[in-house]
Amino acid sequence: MTEQPGRDDSTNVLTAVRAARTDQLAAEIRAVLAIIDWCVIHQTDDEGAASFGDHGIPLAGDGAPWVLEFAVMELCAALGLSTDAGKRQVGSVLETRYRLPRLWGRVIAGDLPFWRARSVAEQTMCLPAAGARFVDRHVAHVAHKVSYLQLKRLVEEARTRFDPAEAEKKAREAADGRHVSIHTQDIGVNGTVDLTGTLDLRDALDLDDALNRGAALLGVAGCEESHDVRRSIAAGDLARGTQSLPFDQDEPSTTGTPPRSRVVLHVHLTEAALDGDVGGCLGRVANTRSPIWVDRVRDWCTSPDVQVTVKPVIDLAEHVHVEACEIPERLRVQRELIDHHCVFPWCKRPARSCDIDHVTPHDQGGTTCSCNTAPLCRGHHRAKTHSGWTYDTIDQGAYVWRSPNRLYFRVDGTGTTPVTTPSAPPGET
C-alpha cells in the first residue's frame, strides 16, 4: 500500500506550481521584450518591393515598424518556429507594443499573459490606427476575460466607425458566402475526403435532384451500395462528365461537357503490394502526404476512365551526378522523396513545390549531384543566396545550418533541433 501524501506535501506541490507559473510569465515577458529589441535593431524605412534581396516587410498594422525580411527569418528560427508561424508571433508582439498601449502595459506588468494580448492583436491588425486605439481603450481592462465573440463584435464596431469603406466591403463579402470546398488535405486511409459548401437555393435543389437521379440509375445498374454512397458516386460521375443533367437521356452522354483537367495522384507502393499481396498493406499518396489502403488504389486502377502510369523505381541510395548546373528530373524526384519538405530550419513546405538548391553553389565549385542538392522553398532559397545563411550536408537527408548570427540547427527526418557545438559548422573546417 502506497503512502498518501500529507497536507504539507500537497501545499508544497501547489506552492511549487504557482512559483513555476510566475517564472514562466516572467520568462515570457523577457522573450517579448527581446523580440521588440530585435525588431528595433532591424527596422527599416525601405518599403519597396524586392524580388530577391533583403527588404522591409510589414508584420503589424499601420504605425508599427517594418522589419528586414531576412532578420525576421533568423528571429523565427531562434524562436523555434517556421517563418510563417514566427511572422504571426512577431507581428502580434509589434501590434501590441505600437498600437495597443494599454494592453501592452498589462503584459509588461505581468498582469496579463501574452497569449491573451495576442488574441486581441491578431484581430486589430487590419484596422486603422484610430480603430486599434478604440479597441485598446475598450478591451484592455477586461482582456483577461473577454470572449472571442465579444472581441469580434468590438472589432467590427471599430471597423464601421473608422473604416466604413472596408466595413461595407466585408459586409458584401459576408452576404455572399457561397463556396464549395473539397478537403483534399484531409484524406482518410480508405481514400475518402469531406466536401462542404454553401450554394444558391436553385443550384442546391438541382444538384440534390441530379445526385438522387444518379443514385437511382446506379441502383438500376446493379450497384448494391447504400443510397448515400450511390449519391457520392454520382457526384464523381458528374465531375467526370459521364452523365449529363438533367438525366433525360437513355444512355449516359458527355455531349456539351467541357474538357476536364487532368488529375494526377502520385502513389508509392511496396514490392509486396505490387506482387499482389495487398492484405493490410498501406501505400502513400504523395500529393496529400497521407496513407491509403492498397486495395483502394487497386479499385481506382481498375476503373475504365483511369490512366495508370508506372514510373521506374527511384533508388534513394544511388548517387546521381551530372555536369550541368540545371537539376535533372531524376535528381529532383530523388531529393523530393528523401527530404519531403524544405530543409530550412522549422520549414514544412512540401518539396514538390520547392526549388532544388546547390548546397555549395555551382559557381563556387559545387557539383550537381545527390550529395550537394536539397529542396528549399523560394523564400528560404533567397535567404540562403542573399543573406548569411549557410548549410552543409552531414548525411543523407541531414543538414547543419548556420544563421548570420551563428545560431546552429540540425535538420533531418525527425525535424529541426537547435545545436550549440556542431561537429562540422557550415563553411568551416
Give the model confidence (pLDDT) of 255-265 as tens digits.
444 444 455 66
Q: What is the pLDDT confidence band of residue 104, given thresholds at 50, 70 and 90?
A: very high
Q: Which domains are seen in the chain, by residue range?
A: 7-175 (no CATH), 177-261 (no CATH), 267-301 (no CATH), 321-419 (1.10.30)
Give the chain's mean pLDDT: 85
Distance from CA of residue 172 to its chain's centroid?
Answer: 28
Percent of all residues in the chain with a pLDDT value above 90, rounded to a whole number: 60
Amino acid 266: pLDDT: 67
Q: Between residues 221 and 300, which one has the greater pLDDT?
A: 221
Amino acid 384: pLDDT: 95
Amino acid 404: pLDDT: 95
For residue 68, pLDDT beyond 80: yes
Half-sphere exposure of 232 (CA within 13 A, CB side): 11
Give the model confidence (pLDDT) of 329-362 as tens digits.
999 999 998 999 999 999 999 999 999 999 999 9
Amino acid 246: pLDDT: 44
For residue 117, pLDDT beyond 50: yes
Amino acid 28: pLDDT: 95
Amino acid 339: pLDDT: 94
Interval 190-205 mean pLDDT: 84
The four Cα atoms 337, 338, 340, 343 give a dihedral, to 10 degrees, of -150
Q: What is the pLDDT confidence band of residue 66, given thresholds at 50, 70 and 90?
A: very high
CB 383 within 8 A of CB 398: no
Amino acid 297: pLDDT: 74
Give the model confidence (pLDDT) of 359-390 as tens digits.
999 999 999 999 999 999 999 999 999 999 99
Q: Which residues contact 376 (CB under 8 A, 6 or more apart)?
A: 342, 343, 344, 354, 355, 356, 357, 384
Amino acid 187: pLDDT: 78
Amino acid 429: pLDDT: 41
Whole-model pTM: value is 0.76
Q: Between residues 295 and 199, which one has the greater pLDDT?
A: 199
Among 46-60, 79-93, 341-355, which stretch is predicted with the lowest mean pLDDT?
46-60
